[in-house]
Amino acid sequence: MSLLLGCIADDFTGATDLASMLVKHGMTTVQVIGVPNGALPEADAVVIALKSRTIPAGDAVAQSLAAAEALLAAGARQLLFKYCSTFDSTDEGNIGPVADALLKRLGAGFALACPAFPANGRSIYQGHLFAGSHLLSESGMENHPLTPMRDPNLVRVLGRQTEGSVGLVPFAVVERGAGAIRDAMTRLAEGGRRYGIIDAVTDAHLLAIGEAAAKHPLITGGSGIAMGLPANFRAAGLLPERPDAAVLPAPQGMCAVVAGSCSRATLGQIGFARDHVPVLELDALALPDAAALAAQALEWVQGKLSADRPVVIAASAPPDKVAALQARLGRDAAGVLVEDAMAAVAAGLVARGVGRLVVAGGETSGAVVSRLGVQQLRIGAEIDPGVPWTFAAPTGIHLALKSGNFGGRDFFLKAFEHG
Ligand code: ADP
């Protein structure tokens, strides 16, 4: 099996989202954490997860180029640069500078840019990005602390980030299908445009755009743009049908959930779990000491672990309690304290035989993955949209990393019904 699609994602949960999309459409996929220093794993697609969304543009370019080298050395036939479906960036970057550098590395003159993801309410019409029924600039994203998006017109937004010029393939063309889109992109490239923003309102549009870009060395967009790509490799005879793309090694060991997210969804999931399985809610305000919190959790768990149903250990708290801890310690120190505690709990659980672990919270997941020394995640089937089970190397356990707002109320139980 040789690598077909090489992906570079500018954040961790976005990488998982993309990898999950590729698995769903029949490619075996491994997510690699950070620029790899050794050989890449065997898979149809590899997604290298960087944390390059809001770092200085020069660093994002350097890391993305290093990731591209690793993917190309492994034989990748096409590169995909994945960014957020709300096009999170500033006038300094990092989408434009990274895409410019990748195009140059590939000796290519044109790439499409399409962050649309209709299933999550992100659509593009006449170059304008919508989140649900709101223009991006009126969606709340205009107040984002790091990447405020105050201009919904992606032709302009990307235009400010690149030395090249940006054109548009409008809805009316996209509606006519892959051939029309391909011709329009060729005309943009021949007219000297470096990028084409492509309108997309439905999955059918994304599939057609993917088909039209079969021969492009570089594709840029959100995870939605990936849905049409596996079919290109199949049509070229490079990708066999893979009904088992999502199959992971059989799960083993005890089941546990570690929650550090304080989102409304996670608090609801903890509440639901309380009626069904053992739940420990740590009180970081009463005991603001990471090691002591972890010790308390690991003592509590004795005799409670099971291979059939999870235990849930949560530091999560409602907004007033979070605010109280932040007032006492400062916002960053409060976050780090709880992340350290949950990472130590996760490591302690694995040492006690936990082989199937759900982690709730993006930052919390980052802390756990780093404490466990995880370097790669083979992506399996989704539990709920956007949250797949994964098999972690070199630790050899099953991990599900849930970004705070994801998952239904029964997520913590449902995760372990999947086997
Ligand atoms: P989400 O995906 O919901 O944003 P994250 O894990 O990314 O979740 O962020 C939640 C943050 O809140 C983490 O830094 C975590 O350590 C912190 N946190 C969790 N519980 C508490 C608490 N009781 N008080 C203060 N901060 C907390």
- Angle ∠(270,363,81) on CA atoms, nearest 5: 120
Helix (H, G, I), strand (E, B) or coil at 211: helix
Arch. (CATH architecture) of 5-235: 3-Layer(aba) Sandwich (3.40)
**Alpha-carbon distances of 299 from 76, 302, 305, 312, rounded to whole Å:** 48, 6, 12, 14
Rounded to a whole number of angstroms, the CA Rg of the chain reads 22
Per-residue pLDDT of 128-138, as tens digits, reads 999 999 999 99
- Nearest-angstrom CA–CA distance, 36 and 15: 15
CA of 336 to the centre of ligand 1 (A): 9
What pLDDT shows up at residue 37?
86
Cβ of 336 less than 6 Å from ligand 1: no
Cβ of 263 less than 6 Å from ligand 1: yes
Nearest ligand 1 atom, CA 317: 23
Residues paired with residue 221 on neighbouring β-strands, in sequence order: 82, 114
Question: Is the peptide bond prior to 153 cis by the omega test (within 30 degrees of 0)?
Answer: no
* Neighbouring residues of 323: CB distance < 8 A, sequence distance ≥ 6: none
Residues paired with residue 90 on neighbouring β-strands, in sequence order: 93
What pLDDT shows up at residue 13?
85
What pLDDT shows up at residue 363?
87
What pLDDT shows up at residue 1?
67
- Nearest-angstrom CA–CA distance, 222 and 84: 6
Question: 112 phi and psi, to 5 degrees?
Answer: -85, 155
Domain boundaries, the chain: 5-235, 254-418
What pLDDT shows up at residue 386?
83
Mutation test of ligand 1: which of 316, 364, 365, 368 has the most ligand atoms closer than 8 Å to its C-beta? 364
CA of 291 to the centre of ligand 1 (A): 17
First to last CA, the chain: 27
Helix (H, G, I), strand (E, B) or coil at 125: strand
Helix (H, G, I), strand (E, B) or coil at 133: coil
**Of 189, 10, 22, 16, residue with least CA distance to 110:** 189
What pLDDT shows up at residue 130?
97
Rounded (10°) angle between helices 57-73 and 95-106: 40
| C-beta neighbour count of 148 within 10 angstroms | 13
Helix (H, G, I), strand (E, B) or coil at 251: coil
Alpha helices in 306-414 (DSSP H): 319-329, 331-351, 362-371, 411-414
All residue ranges of the chain with pLDDT < 70 are 1, 418-419
Q: What DSSP state is assigned to residue 162? A: -
- Nearest-angstrom CA–CA distance, 223 and 76: 18
**CB of 45 closer than 8 Å to CB of 4:** yes
- Nearest-angstrom CA–CA distance, 250 and 379: 13
What pLDDT shows up at residue 111?
98
Q: Are strands 134-135 and 29-33 parallel, antiparallel or unpaired?
A: unpaired
Structure tokens at 276: 């069904």
Cβ of 345 less than 6 Å from ligand 1: no
Cβ of 386 less than 6 Å from ligand 1: no
Q: What DSSP state is assigned to residue 39? A: P
- Angle ∠(268,345,52) on CA atoms, nearest 5: 75
Per-residue pLDDT of 258-283, as tens digits, reads 999 998 899 999 999 999 999 999 99
254-418 CATH choice from 1.10.3720.10, 3.40.50.620, 3.40.50.300, 3.40.980.20: 3.40.980.20
